[in-house]
Structure 1
Amino acid sequence: MPRRRGNTTISPQGAPNRRNTELALLVFAVLLPILAYANVGLAMDSRLPAGMLGYGLGMGALALVAHLLVRRFAPYADPLMLPIATLLNGLGVVMIWRLDKAGHLLSGNFPAARNQLMWSALGITLFIGVMVFLKDHRVLQRYTYISMVVALVLLAAPAFFPARAEDFGAKIWIRMGSFSIQPGEFAKIVLTVFFAGYLMVKRDALALASRRFMGLYLPRGRDLGPIVVIWLLSLLILIFENDLGTSFLFFGLFVVMLYVATERTSWILFGLLMSVGGAVAVATTTSHVKVRIDAWLDPMAAFSANPPKGSTEQIGQSLMALGSGGVTGSGLGQGRSWLINFAAKSDFILGSFGEELGLTGLMAIFLLYALLVQRGLRTAVAARDPFGKLFAVGLASAMALQVFVVAGGVTGLIPLTGMTMPFLAQGGSSVVANWALVAILLKISDSARRPGVEPAPATEGQGGPAR
């Protein structure tokens, strides 16, 4: 039944406040990584890790502060997103620490868990900042074209910095001394702001079709302009920065949001044809991309008697790690995925999880990502404004596309891209940007689920009919 408050009635629409549910799930999301941390210590050293208490208190404090801020500034937000992000982040830190402990066996396997903890704290700090200062997500619509400019600057900036030998030809970092940042991780959020604002205004024109061919509505020639521009920009990123992952994410995100805005399957068809055509053209002219495609076609070539130039062992090692894990895995701390070297903590951390947790554990991780994306899409469905709907779809799709690109590369489904697994993998820019992404989704969710206030029914003497 609706509740009365003065002369107004609170509508029953919108979900109830689920903050206590979120708190209970957060307790589980903190305890599980602590138990995993203890398990690694017992498996590798036959004793509990010395830093287990500090790690548990630190993760618990950060999660509690984030929860209290959500309770205060987004009380009707989705109760699952924060616990899922906390659990993935915590498990990632544990696996990175586990691989650090094997670092003495390989010189390139430098310690990274401490840095990952620092970046996780910074990411949650940014999460808190979004909670406090972003009063209404619709404010971002005012900066549609400014967002486009900022995103292009972020995407183009790494091309002006030299690539290091250990970057394998990719120019996706800005490095200044020991400090480095990957601006493409932040560009995906800024680009989503632009796409949502632009498509909200232009979706009617883009939905028009001039003719029907084989069951598909073909868009008008002048409406192909935006998708052609985005396609060319993604190709430029691929050519000048040798960055397969960002290029795919950039173009794929736009096509998905374009389809959601216009409901025209023809855009999906054109998007797929243009992306495949562009990738083939670049692969035949760019040596770095060609090497990655060759490694995908023959991941075991590096182990042959005469390995081809530029071949890498990492894909083959990842497949062997996944295969040796079987269904239940070797157990945390008892695998050998550290042989993949530094990439075991970044690009190939899924291979590390697959070996030690097996197919069962890997499927559980994928289900966590699927649930996080599903809650984002559910937020889009519930959003009451068109900008919020498109914005939430874009953010959830960016997460889904990134997970697909990384998982596909590690398992050999698609060529390796060099992107990092959200929350799990080593990478400061990635973890900070993804915490901001979750915070924005929570703000949209709070606006969508918040009970609306409607005028009370008219009564006798207020213009309504007398009973």
Structure 2
Amino acid sequence: MTNTIDSAETDQPVKKPLRITKILLMVMAVAIGSGAYMLSGLGMDQTLDTQYWVQLGVMFALAMAFHIVLRLRAPFADQYILPLALTLNGLGLAMIHRLDLVPPGTNLANNQLLWTALSVIISMAIVWFIIDYRHMRRFTYVWLLASAILLILPFLPFIGVEIYGARIWVNLGIGSFQPGEVAKLTLAIFFASYLSANRDLILLAGRKLGPLTFPRIQDLGPLVVAWLVAMGVLVFQRDLGSAVLFFGLFMSMIYLATSRLSWIILGLVAVGAGGIIAVNLFPHVQARIDGWLNAFDMDMIYAEHGSHQVVQGLFGLASGGLFGSGLGEGRPDLVFAANSDMIIASFGEELGLVGLAAILLIFFMLVTRIMRIGLSSRDAFGKLLAAGLGCAMAIQMFVVVGGVLRVIPLTGLTTPFMAAGGSSLLANWMIIGLVLLISHTANRPMVAGPMVNASGVGSGAAVPGQPVEAGER
């Protein structure tokens, strides 16, 4: 029996629809951010000055420029990722601007807008210049080396800077930068590359213990590397949040690669051992735990590096109630680092439970779309990379919100896209660029080409994984 296919149908290039929905979503995203920016100023009795129109123009120009780049280079990319990221970025700019207006005032909103422009441009460059993200898997240990260099940079003389007890910054002359934020991305690429290449070996070899299959000693290398990285960051950089994030990133990716509960058990044992060591040997970790367990003790509230920050954040959330005080009408500035570590508490006070739930829902939708991209990817590297980055963002949000709500100790991690700080913004927009590339490759249609059928006759059927042309479905 011969396979037949309508050659006229396969030879026709795919038409590019206008994607009006995507344009409308991006306009809506810019409108939400700029509207919040305007309301925060009006709530502080400010007029709509030139700064507001500059913010509106820059965000709209960046959105349209990114749309054009995607149209030309990655037209099959997920159409919801970019509007969701723009919405979060715009809301963060609005809250930072609102806090800038509190006397004596700062200029962080303008700096954040500059970092937004730079970050979005770099994200566009990733989409434009990386022809095929799958080439990155060839440089497995280069990504590991890059991660090590980024994590070591803060310890170098002259450029390493210690801020608020954590040595995670480098001085670039024009400002400080946190290289560990970019290391989150390079470590994810390393883990995805290593696990996609060695998945079968890790999966098939091992010793059975009841219903569980545990890996061989020689296959535990990645777990040991991840644990050492996390402990090194915790001990030397005094950054509990990044340590949790890095190890959580690896554990989620190894579970996605193998679907084996034994890896989770081993990971929990490693976390437990590391936590016991850290609490008993390192005072800064013990201080974090004490501040969490005894947050409302007067001695702890007024102690240096005590619980004053988290307690003030809880009071702000409580005063916001269900609908909040309104943008510009509350006092989130009473909380230390209200525009960075505690920006979730700032939104909770002025937008209330309803507004904060809406923001968390946007994050949930963004993570869900990224995970869907991982599921739809046609190659193991793309699946692990997209799903791992989605898990990293989910873990980061859990750690941030859990710390603000006192569910877990406050760690100092920043809220993606929203908190003041250029390094976090840059790293997360780089993630968006990579995720858009993966979704484009996953969604593009098959190419028309010869396929040999059972009788040895070419049928002109589609070849999986190759594009017909750069067009829209």
| Structure-2-length-normalised TM-score | 0.89
2:262 aligned residue: 266
Q: Secondary structure at the match of 2:70?
A: helix
Matched-pair contact (CA < 8 Å) for 2:326–2:350: yes
- Cα offset for 1:456? 6.6
Q: Which moved more, 1:372-381 or 1:3-12?
A: 3-12
Q: Residue 136 of structure 1: which of 126, 132, 136 is its match?
A: 132
Matched-pair contact (CA < 8 Å) for 2:37–2:93: no
Matched-pair contact (CA < 8 Å) for 2:292–2:307: no
> Does 2:401 correspond to 1:407?
yes
1:447 aligned residue: 441
Report Cα offsets for 1:334-364 as digits up to 9, x if no partner.
11110113x1011000000010011111111
Equivalent position amino acid for 1:320 in 2: F
- Cα offset for 1:394? 1.6
The 2-side partners of 1:319 and 1:306 are apart by 13
Q: Which moved more, 1:230-239 or 1:17-26?
A: 17-26
1:240 aligned residue: 236
2:113 aligned residue: 117
The 1-side partners of 2:210 and 2:289 are apart by 33
- Cα offset for 1:206? 1.5
Q: Residue 275 of structure 1: which of 271, 278, 282 is its match?
A: 271
Structure 2: 5+ residue stretches without partners: 460-473
Report Cα offsets for 1:129-169 as digits up to 9, x if no partner.
1111011111111111101100111012213358767x221
Q: Secondary structure at the match of 2:168?
A: coil
Q: Which moved more, 1:16-25 or 1:358-367?
A: 16-25
Matched-pair contact (CA < 8 Å) for 1:41–1:49: no
The 2-side partners of 1:443 and 1:68 are apart by 14
Matched-pair contact (CA < 8 Å) for 2:77–2:437: yes
Summarize the Cα distance change of 1:6–1:240 in structure 2 as closer, same or farther, 3 Å threshold: same
> Does 2:188 correspond to 1:186?
no
Q: How does 1:140-219 map to 2 (within 5 A)?
A: 140-160=136-156, 167-208=163-204, 210-213=206-209, 215-219=211-215
Summarize the Cα distance change of 1:188–1:310 in structure 2 as closer, same or farther, 3 Å threshold: closer
2:38 aligned residue: 38
> Does 2:93 correspond to 1:93?
yes
The 2-side partners of 1:69 and 1:19 are apart by 14
Report Cα offsets for 1:229-258 as digits up to 9, x if no partner.
321221112111101111111111111111
Equivalent position amino acid for 2:310 in 1: I
Matched-pair contact (CA < 8 Å) for 1:17–1:76: no
Matched-pair contact (CA < 8 Å) for 1:18–1:79: no
Matched-pair contact (CA < 8 Å) for 2:245–2:395: yes
- Cα offset for 1:3? 9.8
2:21 aligned residue: 21
Summarize the Cα distance change of 1:101–1:168 in structure 2 as closer, same or farther, 3 Å threshold: same
- Cα offset for 1:403? 1.4
The 1-side partners of 2:452 and 2:230 are apart by 57
Matched-pair contact (CA < 8 Å) for 1:41–1:48: yes
> Does 2:319 correspond to 1:321?
no
Matched-pair contact (CA < 8 Å) for 1:17–1:75: no
- Cα offset for 1:211? 4.1
The 2-side partners of 1:21 and 1:4 are apart by 31
The 1-side partners of 2:456 and 2:208 are apart by 55
> Does 2:413 correspond to 1:390?
no
Summarize the Cα distance change of 1:95–1:184 in structure 2 as closer, same or farther, 3 Å threshold: same
Q: Residue 373 of structure 1: which of 363, 367, 378 is its match?
A: 367
> Does 2:72 correspond to 1:66?
no
Summarize the Cα distance change of 1:188–1:72 in structure 2 as closer, same or farther, 3 Å threshold: same
- Cα offset for 1:464? 7.5
Q: Residue 254 of structure 1: which of 247, 250, 253 is its match?
A: 250
Summarize the Cα distance change of 1:247–1:74 in structure 2 as closer, same or farther, 3 Å threshold: same
Matched-pair contact (CA < 8 Å) for 1:206–1:219: yes
1:284 aligned residue: 280
1:437 aligned residue: 431
- Cα offset for 1:115? 0.3
Matched-pair contact (CA < 8 Å) for 1:4–1:10: no
Report Cα offsets for 1:61-92 as digits up to 9, x if no partner.
11111111111111010000000111100110
Q: Which moved more, 1:53-62 or 1:88-97?
A: 53-62
Report Cα offsets for 1:165-210 as digits up to 9, x if no partner.
7x22111111244521100111111111111110011111222364
1:84 aligned residue: 84
Matched-pair contact (CA < 8 Å) for 1:19–1:75: no
> Does 2:299 correspond to 1:300?
no
Equivalent position amino acid for 1:84 in 2: L
Report Cα offsets for 1:204-231 as digits up to 9, x if no partner.
1222364444643322333223212321
Equivalent position amino acid for 1:289 in 2: V
Summarize the Cα distance change of 1:250–1:10 in structure 2 as closer, same or farther, 3 Å threshold: farther
Aligned length, in residue pairs: 454
The 1-side partners of 2:22 and 2:145 are apart by 37
The 1-side partners of 2:304 and 2:36 are apart by 40
The 1-side partners of 2:306 and 2:329 are apart by 28
Equivalent position amino acid for 1:417 in 2: T
Matched-pair contact (CA < 8 Å) for 1:112–1:426: yes
The 2-side partners of 1:464 and 1:148 are apart by 45
Summarize the Cα distance change of 1:156–1:163 in structure 2 as closer, same or farther, 3 Å threshold: closer
Equivalent position amino acid for 2:62 in 1: L
The 2-side partners of 1:114 and 1:286 are apart by 38
The 2-side partners of 1:433 and 1:86 are apart by 15
Root-mean-square deviation (Å): 2.7
Q: Which moved more, 1:24-33 or 1:403-412?
A: 403-412
| Structure-1-length-normalised TM-score | 0.91
Equivalent position amino acid for 1:80 in 2: Y
Report Cα offsets for 1:297-337 as digits up to 9, x if no partner.
12223x45994454241111111111111111111111111
1:331 aligned residue: 326
Summarize the Cα distance change of 1:351–1:16 in structure 2 as closer, same or farther, 3 Å threshold: farther
Q: Residue 226 of structure 1: which of 222, 227, 231 is its match?
A: 222
Matched-pair contact (CA < 8 Å) for 1:3–1:11: no
The 2-side partners of 1:63 and 1:246 are apart by 30
- Cα offset for 1:20? 2.5
The 2-side partners of 1:127 and 1:3 are apart by 40
Report Cα offsets for 1:18-59 as digits up to 9, x if no partner.
832211100100111222122122221064455322221121
